[in-house]
Structure 1
Amino acid sequence: MNAIISASALEGDLTGPTPPVVLDVRWQLGGPHLGGAYEEAHLPGAVFVDLDSELAGPAGPAGRHPLPDVEGFGSVMRAAGVSVDRDVVVYDGGQGWAAARAWWLLRWTGHPSVRVLDGGLAHWTGPLESGRPSPAPGDFVPAPGAVPLLDADGAAELARSGLLLDARAGERYRGEVEPIDPVGGHIPGAVSAPTTENVVEGGRLRPAGELTDRFAALGADGASRVGVYCGSGVSGAHQVLALAVAGIPAALYIGSWSEWSADTSRPVAKGAEPQ
């Protein structure tokens, strides 16, 4: 199953005999809650899922967007109509980060068929609806561990023995600025790989071949294990999505820099080089 779907393909699927469950995951870092925008206009049948409260647990020592309670996540997904034998498509406003977070969580908890709408709502030209739908409850029961997950120690080890990609902006990796977390810099050994470079103008992912070439240049040689982190496990999920499109499996360090930098015992590297 492909990790992404085009707007035209999704429009066709929604009018087919077995339409997918559609989740609207619009979210803006530090911005207003977008539930109101969802109620005004969303894809037909789409159910709104809140990233901060439903796709993450409370912020704390484990990071700004730690894993949600698994049982609670399952309840949210079932209420949205998610079933194990029905395709799921997730979308956001266009950046793709929040949709990728939902995609990753569903994959990690064992759903076999989840795709991200490439380019998000910004590329949708089909009909829209208002209000809130009332889907029939689904039967999805999360089974965590279906895709690899890193903790802080695992990320540190992978930076030494494999390839750990830092999906944040280059200036944050280098430690020149840090607008959110207490310390700037990166995990020693991690390679700078801003997730913004995985997309073309307009927010769609680059073609698979271009992504394969990009990650190969960064050290993804097909033999080394690959991991990703970001600020709090959101844009990093988008990097894992891009790697999946390129045919490269990757683990996500969910706590990411927000967890790493909160622990003063963890080493911090600065500058353009991994070490």
Structure 2
Amino acid sequence: MSVTTTVTELRTLLASDEPPVVLDVRWALGDPHGRDHYAEGHIPGAVYVDLDTELAAPPSPEGGRHPLPRAEDLQEAARRWGIRQGQRVVVHDDLGNTAAARAWWLLRHAGLTRVTLLDGALGAWRSAGLPLESGVPADPPHGDVVLDEGALPTVDADGAAELAVSGLLLDARAAERYRGEVEPVDPRAGHIPGALSAPTGENLAADGTFLPPEELRKRFEDKGAAGASRIGVYCGSGVTAAHQIAALEIAGFEAVLFPGSWSAWSADPARPAATGPLPS
């Protein structure tokens, strides 16, 4: 199945006999008001998803700021969102899907295949002149979806360190965080030695849609993806790295996620940190 759904396609699907569940994952680092933004205006029928509490387990030094939730907890949440077995799901945020990709990846990891990102996110819906509704609607009817885990691969800190040596490890954070010039939230600045900088924002065109597949492929080939035996991705806490994995899939590459990402790596004083523009 495609990674993305266009606004035109979503509008058609919503008017069909089998409409998808639309998940609104409004979240940004340093902005805890996602639910308020959702209430101000959202795609009619969309269900708000709280990234911190529904798409992550409680933070810990070992697991990072956004550990993967348990399968049973994600299943309970997905049923609250109204997802039925076999139903399509379209997810979006209001930031180029850099947060919504976490839901896309988690549901794919949990075994669902009919999950896509709304290309261009909420901005594309607005730009098309389509209506928004305000307020917080009543909860949807409970779904019956059955979720598991492990359908998509992950690595731990040791696996990420190995990928940086024997494969290709991409750091999806902003370049200044990779270089160690700033660190707004995690214990230490810098990057995993051997990782290459590949900021998530560079996956997107100016309008917030993904770059065309051929441009994404060149972007990752320039990083060494074509010759890599295995590709891994991390970010600050395993959120925007999921967007990188989506972009890699559009480009024709498979990649594994390091869920703890820099938040877990930097919390372990035994793990080295590199700084500057070079991998090591």
**TM-score band w.r.t. shorter chain:** over 0.9
The residue aligned with 2:78 is 77
The residue aligned with 2:106 is 105
Deviates more, 1:29-38 or 1:150-159: 29-38
Confirm or deny that 1:169 pairs with 2:174: yes
The residue aligned with 2:184 is 179
In 2, distance between residues paired with 1:224 and 1:99? Answer: 28
In 2, distance between residues paired with 1:84 and 1:217? Answer: 40
Check the 8 A contact 1:118/1:204 in 2, yes or no: yes
Q: Look up the equivalent residue of 1:19 and give its one-letter code.
A: P
Q: Report SS of the residue matched to 1:179.
A: coil
The residue aligned with 1:86 is 87
In 1, distance between residues paired with 2:191 and 2:28? Answer: 24
Select which of 236, 241, 248 maps to 1:236: 241
1:20-46 per-position Cα deviation (integer Å, ceiling 9, x unaligned):
111111112111322122223211211
Instruction: For residue 223 of structure 1, report the CA deviation from its aligned partner.
Output: 4.8
Instruction: For residue 81 of structure 1, report the CA deviation from its aligned partner.
Output: 1.2
Aligned length: 275
Confirm or deny that 1:126 pairs with 2:127: no
Sequence identity of aligned pairs in percent? 57
Instruction: For residue 222 of structure 1, report the CA deviation from its aligned partner.
Output: 5.5
TM-score (norm 2): 0.95
Q: Which runs of 5+ in 2 are unaligned?
A: none
1:196-239 per-position Cα deviation (integer Å, ceiling 9, x unaligned):
11111121110111001100010101652111000011111111
Confirm or deny that 1:38 pairs with 2:38: yes
The residue aligned with 1:17 is 17
Q: Which runs of 5+ in 1 are unaligned?
A: none
In 1, distance between residues paired with 2:248 and 2:267? Answer: 28
In 2, distance between residues paired with 1:194 and 1:34? Answer: 23
Q: Report SS of the residue matched to 1:232.
A: coil
TM-score (norm 1): 0.96
In 1, distance between residues paired with 2:179 and 2:34? Answer: 32
In 2, distance between residues paired with 1:266 and 1:37? Answer: 38
Check the 8 A contact 1:45/1:133 in 2, yes or no: no
Q: Report SS of the residue matched to 2:22.
A: strand
The residue aligned with 2:213 is 208
